[in-house]
Amino acid sequence: MSLFRIFSVLMLAGCFSSAVVADDRSIPQVESTSFLINGVTAHRGDSGKFPENTMPAFQSGIKVAADWIELDIFRSRDGKLRYMAEVKRLAPEIPVFWDRGADTNIDEDIRTANQNGFETLVLHHSAVTPEKVRKVKAAGLEVGAWTVNDRARMETLLGMGLQRLYTGHPQLLLAMKNEWTFRNVVCEGTYPHHLQGVCADDSAIFWSFTTTLVKTDLDGQLLKKVPVANHHGDLCFHDGKLYVAVNLGKFNDPAGNADSWVYVYDAETLKELARHETQELFHGAGGIGFRDGHFFVVGGLPDSVDENYVYEFDGTFKFVKKHIIKSGHTHLGIQTATFAHDRWWFGCYGDPKILLVTDADFQMPGRYEFDCSLGIEKLSGGRLLSASGRCEKGKGCTGSVRVAVPDEKTGLKYVNAGQGDQK
């Protein structure tokens, strides 16, 4: 017999929801280890499409990939938190989301949540303020809101940094959270040299600032940084490791006095793991991408050359082939690279900055005036991550990333274009 387990402990204005076991052969078996974490609670199931608290609503909530499903049962007559405290005693690994009304005292709520080991405070959406969000997060708790069915209100709350929303429209919220991920993310801190490239995994963004390798969370909050050799360029993520294009000699020198390498770092700790020579890059290694088990390194270009080159290496960095891109001249060659959505995307310096787009075989369908010379990275859903940065004398250099999507006319465009951005 197939079992689907919904583990949820949710306090909700006069009633509470509990761990539930629903027995239904039509529901696929889901092990707890495969639970998603996306901050979307389907309120009484996918209740925007189906009658609330029904199996069709629950099944639809599962299908659209909400990570939790909420349903209601009555709490104890004395109004105490004894079911909830007992859950934490019996199964401490199950997170508790404590829902609070619009008029509760946030300081008392935080104190009670911490005393009982609850993980999340979920406020009535009308009572959410930036100050309350700051207080809850500062206390080490996740902050959420219930119940939000209006798109504009979702937008406002996501903008405040809420980590969980209850909604009767989980599919809409998931789509909006997907759009919000990486939206206008600014890397925390300033650095001595400018940004050279970015890459990301499911939980972190990695930034190469020439002499500093930086790891942040998806909101740009600093997790770790390490000093590195000058000149660390663009980087890519593969199999838990970071691969950085490094030039220790003269970059873009017509006489070929470069010294090209790929340095490898552990993505979790930023500890250096290996160095691979890539001396085939005659004018200096500057950018790197990964595709089908092979690494592709790009770099400098003298003024007299009207084509760009991509150097292919196998998984052990044995040289495979030199590819030619009939791109015309680009200033200092190619700085950043990624393979995404069946195409190569290359960022180049210049005035204006240039984006080169090729197919998988480096045949070039497009050359565009779009600036991704400081970083370009693949995202899901047909999107890409484009980096920018600036340096101020006496203050240092900063970096940020934004989501872009392919565009027939401009190569890429930002998904939230506005305020002078490229459209």
Which CATH number covers residue 158? 3.20.20.190
**pLDDT for res 19:** 30
> 85 CB contacts (<8 Å, ≥6 apart)?
116
Instruction: Say if residue 68's pLDDT is above 60.
Output: yes
CA distance linking residue 144 with residue 163, whole number of Å: 6
The closest of 223, 214, 228 to 375, measured between CA atoms, is: 214
Q: Which tokens sit at 226?
A: 């390490």
**pLDDT for res 9:** 39
Let me know whether 395 and 330 are in one domain. yes
Note the pLDDT tens digit of each residue in 88-134: 778 788 888 888 999 999 999 999 999 988 899 999 999 999 999 99
**pLDDT for res 376:** 98
Query: Which of 158, 180, 202 lies at the terminal end of a domain, its last residue?
Result: 180
> 317 CB contacts (<8 Å, ≥6 apart)?
262, 276, 277, 278, 295
**pLDDT for res 370:** 97
Say which CATH number the domain at 383 has.
2.120.10.30
Number of domains in the chain: 2
- Structural domain includes residue 140: yes
Q: What is the mean pLDDT of residues 232-241?
A: 97
**pLDDT for res 75:** 60
pLDDT band at 13 (very low <50, low <70, confident <90, very high): very low
**Secondary structure (3-state) at 406:** strand
- Structural domain includes residue 282: yes
Strands of the sheet containing 260-266, edge to edge, are: 197-200, 204-208, 210-217, 222-238, 241-247, 260-266, 272-277
Query: Which of 135, 159, 180 lies at the terminal end of a domain, its last residue?
Result: 180
Q: Residue 230 sits in which domain range?
A: 185-414
Note the pLDDT tens digit of each residue in 372-403: 999 999 987 788 999 999 999 999 999 999 99
Let me know whether 231 and 303 are in one domain. yes
Note the pLDDT tens digit of each residue in 144-201: 999 999 988 998 898 788 899 999 999 999 888 877 777 779 999 999 999 999 999 8
Instruction: Say if residue 21's pLDDT is above 60.
Output: no
Instruction: Say if residue 32's pLDDT is above 80.
Output: no
Query: Which of 155, 180, 205 lies at the terminal end of a domain, its last residue?
Result: 180
- Structural domain includes residue 421: no
Residue type at 198 in one-letter notation: V
Please report, rounded to a whole number, the percentage of residues in the chain having pLDDT higher than 90: 68
Let me know whether 235 and 379 are in one domain. yes
Q: Which residues pair with 100 in a beta bridge?
A: 123
**Nearest 10 degrees: Cα torsion 188, 334, 382, 326:** 170
Q: How many CA atoms lie within 13 A of 11 on its CB side?
A: 27
Let me know whether 91 and 204 are in one domain. no
Mean pLDDT, the chain, whole residue set: 86
Please report, rounded to a whole number, the percentage of residues in the chain having pLDDT higher than 70: 87
> 310 CB contacts (<8 Å, ≥6 apart)?
296, 297, 298, 322, 323, 324, 325, 334, 337, 344, 362
Let me know whether 136 and 193 are in one domain. no
Q: What is the mean pLDDT of residues 250-273?
A: 95
pLDDT band at 74 (very low <50, low <70, confident <90, very high): low
Note the pLDDT tens digit of each residue in 274-309: 999 999 999 999 999 999 999 999 999 999 899 999
**pLDDT for res 365:** 86
Let me know whether 16 and 151 are in one domain. yes
